[in-house]
Structure formats: C-alpha cells, structure tokens
Amino acid sequence: MPQYNKRIVITGVGVISPIGNDIHSFWEALKAGRSGVDYITRFDATNFPCKIAAEVKNFAPENYIEDAKRIRRMDLFTQYALAAAKMAIDDAGVNFEEEDRSKIGVILGIGIGGLPTLEHEHTVLLQKGPSRVSPFMIPKFIPNIACGEIAMTYKLRGPNYCVVSACASSTHAIGNALQWMRCSDIDMMITGGSEAAVTPLSVAGFSNMGALSLRNDEPKKASRPFDKERDGFVIGEGAGILILEELERAKRRNAKIYAEIVGFSATDDAYHITAPEPEATSVVSAIKDALKDAGILPEQVDYINAHGTSTPLNDKIETLAIKKAFGEHAYKLHISSTKSMIGHLLGAAGAVELIATVLCVKNNIVHPTINYTTPDPDCDLNYTPNECKEKIINYAMSFSLGFGGHNAVIVVKKYE
Amino acid sequence: MMSDIDIENKVKEIIVEQLSVPAEKVKKESHYVNDLGADSLDTVELVMAFEEAFDIEIPDDDVTKITTVGETIEYIKKKVAEKAS
C-alpha cells in the first residue's frame, strides 16, 4: 500500500451545471431530484434524431469575467471553466497575494473543447474562403486554453495542462492534480473539468452511433440510468472546479474543508473504441487499485457515484464491475448516478460528479438516481431510486469510464 | 454608395464591437495598439471585419500603414471610391 506524507483535501468548489450555476442551487436540485434536460436551444435541432440535451441555463459570462473583449475570445467551455474557477477560488477564500503563485497549478479535464468555434469557422472557410477564418479560431478551440485562461486571470505560474480521456477526462485530471499535490512541493492545484459541445456535429455524431436517448417526447425522463427502459445518454454541458490543498496548510489558513481525497486509479479496457469490455476486467482492477491507493477495504465504501450514463451497455457492465469488486457488500452500499439529472457532461462529467459526491459525503445524504421506474434484472443493486437517502458516508467513490476504455476512479473520505 | 459619414460611422462601429471599447474612446487620432488595447490578433481580425463590411481587399503591405482610426477611415474612403469608379 503506498504511503503518502501529505493528506490532500478539497477546500473550495465551483460549478456551472444544467441544474444550477452555483453550489447551493446545484445541491438543492440534486436533493430534490430535479432534471436539467430539455429541448436543445443551442441550434435548430428540428431535423436531428435527438432533440434533447442538458444545457446550462441563464449563464451570463460578464458576471464572472470582467473584460468583455476576453469573453469574445473564448468559446463557451472556457467561459464555464473561468466562472466555476472564480466561484471555487472565492469559496476557498484564497488570497493569491499571500501565495507563491509559481507553486499553484491548473489541470483540467476536457474531452472535446471548442467544437462550436470549429464548426462556425469551418462554415466561414467553406462559404467565404481561407482569408476569412478568424485569427482567434485556434486559441479558441484548443481544450487546454481553459487552463491557460485561468492561469492568466490569477497569474498562476505552476504546472498547467489539460487532460483528455473522453468521458473520464476530468476524473483523470483531478487524479493528476492529486499526484502533484502528494509528490511535489506544489502548494495548491485548481482542478476539474469543463465541456460545452452541444453542437450539430456532436449531436449528429453521438446519435448516429446509437449513444443518445431518443426519448424526445419526454425530455426529463430520458436520462434513466440502470432502469430497464434506458436507451442512451443525454448530452450535457457545464464545468466543475475543485481546489486541492495539503491538509496542514489548509488548517493553518482556517480553510473550509469539504473532504479528503484519498485514492485514485486509472486503467484501460484494451477492448473497443466505444463498447465496454463485457467482463469489466479493467473496471474491477481500477476499483481495486483505488481502494489499495486509499488504504481501505471494499466493505468500508458507503457510496458509489457511478458513471451511470443510461446506456444499455454501460449500466450493465458497471453493475457487474461493482459486484465483482465488492462481492456481497455491493448489495449493501448505496449507488447513484448524477447523470440521471444533469445528463452526460462528457469531459466535465467526472469533476461535476465528484463535486456531487463530496456534497453527499459532507451532508450525509445520497442524492437519487431519478427516473427509475422499471428494474432491470442485470442491474439489481441499490441505485437510490428517485428520492435522496440520509446515510452516514465515510468513504465514497466516483467512477468515470470513457470511450477508448479509459477507466478512472477517485476515493474521497469524510473530513471531521 | 456609402457617404463619408457612413464610412466613418461604420468603421467606428466595427472597432467598438471588435475591441469591446466604449464609443467615446474611439477618436480619429486613437492608435489601435497604444490607445485601444489591440494586440496582433485583434488587428488581423479588425482588418478582416473592414474587408467584409466594405467589400474591399486590404493587402498586407497596406495594413502596416493604417495604425490609427483616422488613417483607417481615409484609407477605406479611398478604396470605396476606387471601387465605385
């Protein structure tokens, strides 16, 4: 079992999500089981097989970013990242004037990046020719620019890069940030993820591979992880940012402490570009590796925030993985899927779901998996259906499984 | 055919939008880089916006000569007149 000299805690969180653009609203919506899914407004989806998405509502970038010119130069995912970062930094009560900014880094997970910019500029290229393509196109669409913009805003000169692993991106990013905190003399990491890729290409691409729910007549019921009638995920957008610090340092500055991050693992299925490996071998090993990293036994886990996409295959294989890794304890722990309410935030999913997990741990409440009406014999665990449950949560895990077989698991522990 | 005043107003309108500066700050003597906070990417996009709005071409050599609002207005007036004739 690895020994780490430092204990790493979460001292601030910020979120932009389909169910709320601040932590309080987000948490209240999660407890209430509110769905953020509705008809797509980002473009005219009339001729698209899938017409629904979990979009962020009422987002005003000027509330978070002072310079109007900077906003113009940012794709939406970067604006979300900056907004969530501002809220997390304010939440953590950090004063960068008192910090060594060369020891503060930013690592985010972003799966796709500036697809809206790419699609717009491609249309300009085809309609008006190469000389009209914006000089800002490249810096707007590359995913890492969100990390760069956060550094520029707060003059942070520590480690800074973007992690990409599809739907596991931000879980891997947070794990990476954890490793920097544990194994170097970096003082603070700003980590998490962002995504805003509800675009014609994206919706068309995901629908044509059969990944999206086509429940267009009942948008709020479309995301139904583990339910027998599930037919695919609902694409979502948003950002989640967490501030990581070493425990003693956090205590010295009287920081609020949400939870401790105690474990991280990463494996790959080595199987198929999109389908999960049927025996869940690498998901099981990711779970076991994460438990070992955390130094705990399977029976100590109280709650799992599942990847739970609401696709026929993921939910079945993920259930199998949980049973194989936990044995009988699989039937005792609580599971829920944040995606039932916020949809699939792609690269940002891991971060926003970890924030949901941490809020559950802090408040001793498991948020529900909504739209659970018909049990599936292949998915027979306790998914906390429809209503939240009060439960003392000491240890919780968050799973993210990305296209390409990328598996990432984080373990968090209650801080008291 | 655009009048001189139309051209002047359109140029200022484009600058206000592209550089996100208040209209009062945009004077004939205003220098894009020194006064209006434009960087190299801004100036490229500004030139594109002028080309698009007035349906003219501004070759790279000429771009270096138009560094203020006033120089731009005079240049565009000339280009628009050339096109008309």
pLDDT, one tens digit per residue, over B21-72 is 999 999 999 999 999 999 999 999 999 999 999 999 999 999 998 999 999 9
Give chain A's domains with CATH numbers.
Answer: 8-252 (3.40.47.10), 264-413 (3.40.47.10)
| Angle, CA of A175, A176 and A177, to the nearest 5° | 90
The CA distance from B49 to the nearest CA of chain A, in Å, is 9
- Distance from C-alpha of A301 to C-alpha of A392, rounded to nearest angstrom: 11
Q: What is the CATH number for B27?
A: 1.10.1200.10
- Distance from C-alpha of A24 to C-alpha of A137, rounded to nearest angstrom: 35
Residues of B whose CB is below 8 A from A136? 41, 45
- Distance from C-alpha of A219 to C-alpha of A322, rounded to nearest angstrom: 29
**Dihedral Cα A207, A314, A116, A73, nearest 10 deg:** 180
Q: Nearest CB to B45: which of A71, A128, A136?
A: A136
The mean pLDDT value for A378-394 works out to 98
- Distance from C-alpha of A219 to C-alpha of A250, rounded to nearest angstrom: 43
Using 50, 70 and 90 to split pLDDT, how confident is the model at A411?
very high
- Burial degree of A99 (CB within 10 A; 0-12, 13-18, 19+): middle
pLDDT (0 to 100) of residue A4: 86
- Distance from C-alpha of A359 to C-alpha of A394, rounded to nearest angstrom: 12
Closest CA to A198 of A73, A74, A55: A55
Q: Nearest CB to B41: which of A67, A131, A135?
A: A135
Which of B15, B26, B42 to mutate against chain A (most A CBs within 10 Å)?
A: B42
- Distance from C-alpha of A233 to C-alpha of A206, rounded to nearest angstrom: 9
A184: CB partners within 8 A, 6+ apart = none
Say which of A50, A162, A167, A379 is annotated catalytic: A167
- Whether residue A360 lies in the annotated active site: no
Edge-to-edge, what's the strand order for the sheet holding A303-305? A160-163, A104-109, A188-195, A238-246, A8-16, A259-268, A406-413, A395-402, A303-305, A334-336
- Distance from C-alpha of B19 to C-alpha of B37, rounded to nearest angstrom: 8
Contact criterion met (CB < 8 Å) for A69 and B41: no
Residues of B whose CB is below 8 A from A72? 20
Closest CA to A306 of A366, A390, A257, A245: A366
- Distance from C-alpha of A55 to C-alpha of A21, rounded to nearest angstrom: 11
- Burial degree of A388 (CB within 10 A; 0-12, 13-18, 19+): middle
- Assess A378–B contact: CB distance below 8 Å, yes or no: no
pLDDT (0 to 100) of residue B2: 82
pLDDT (0 to 100) of residue B79: 94
Say which of A120, A147, A172, A307 is annotated catalytic: A307
Half-sphere exposure of residue B35: CA atoms within 13 angstroms, side-chain side:
17
The mean pLDDT value for A161-187 works out to 97
Q: Nearest CB to A134: which of B20, B37, B45?
A: B45
Q: What total number of domains does chain B contain?
A: 1
pLDDT (0 to 100) of residue A2: 62
Report how far apart, in Å, the C-alpha atoms of A98 and of each of A148, A177, A242 are: 21, 21, 20
In the block, residue with structure tokens 């099981």: A284
Beta strands in A272-394 (DSSP E): 303-305, 334-336, 365-366, 389-390
The mean pLDDT value for A304-327 works out to 98
Q: Nearest CB to A69: which of B19, B44, B48?
A: B19
What's the N-to-C CA distance of chain B in angstroms?
Answer: 11
Pairing label, strands A303-305, A395-402 = parallel
pLDDT of A1 over the 70 cut: no
Domain that residue B52 falls in: 4-84
- Distance from C-alpha of B78 to C-alpha of B80, rounded to nearest angstrom: 6
Complex ipTM over 0.90: no
B21: CB partners within 8 A, 6+ apart = B15, B36, B37
Q: Where are the alpha helices (DSSP H) in A93-213?
A: 115-128, 137-141, 145-154, 169-183, 200-208
A61: CB partners within 8 A, 6+ apart = A71, A74, A79, A82, A83
- Distance from C-alpha of A29 to C-alpha of A255, rounded to nearest angstrom: 26
Half-sphere exposure of residue A332: CA atoms within 13 angstroms, side-chain side:
10
Contact criterion met (CB < 8 Å) for B20 and A69: yes
Tell me the residues of chain A between 105 and 134 that have a Cβ less than 8 Å away from chain B. 128, 131-132, 134
- Distance from C-alpha of A259 to C-alpha of A342, rounded to nearest angstrom: 22
**Which tokens hold the place of A341?**
């309410």
Residues of A whose CB is below 8 A from B19? 69
Using 50, 70 and 90 to split pLDDT, how confident is the model at B84?
confident
| Average of per-residue pLDDT values in chain A | 97
pLDDT (0 to 100) of residue A366: 98
pLDDT of B1 over the 80 cut: no
- Distance from C-alpha of A237 to C-alpha of A116, rounded to nearest angstrom: 12
The mean pLDDT value for A218-222 works out to 98
Tell me the residues of chain A between 44 and 73 that have a Cβ less than 8 Å away from chain B. 67-69, 71-72
**Which tokens hold the place of B26?**
């945009």
